[in-house]
Structure 1
């Protein structure tokens, strides 16, 4: 990857996303785009597509996910799976629609 490439990291405040941010910074990547969940709902296809069309990232790293404790995952298995799949699908479709 080119050091000047625009990289969009979702879930940048989480365990995986923050580790990825540290690695990118250490490797000299400084054109990294992030949006917290209060700025962008990754389940909202229209908003995701608009953002990707406006920002045109070269790479997207998906580290965002719906998380909960052991009990929550046991009780709401389908909900967690659905929301996590929709986050991924929203980003993939948005990138395709934005031609990025």
Structure 2
């Protein structure tokens, strides 16, 4: 919903979604696919924390291999099929055959 407010001087403003969040008020919110990726990342991060009790309390990036596992788990929904890199392909792009497939400096 769009509401137009006109001021006495003739200027107008438009208020979208009664001032609520646009993605929720004027659409359907986050698509379930996006939510699934987000929740899977959070769940895998929690499992990683549980499996590493000696890690100091802090903020960490999700390990690249775990992050790529989240992507692998969702490929079917996109109709994609994952193949394995050959040694030649892996050498060409400078990554291990089994991943991770992005350099350490890359941030998702």
Q: Choose 1 or 2 for highest CA Rg.
A: 2
Q: TM-score range by the shorter chain?
A: under 0.3
The higher relative CO (CA closer than 8 Å, separation ≥ 6) is in 1
TM-score, with normalisation over the residues of structure 1?
0.27
TM-score, with normalisation over the residues of structure 2?
0.26
- Greater helix share, 1 or 2? 1
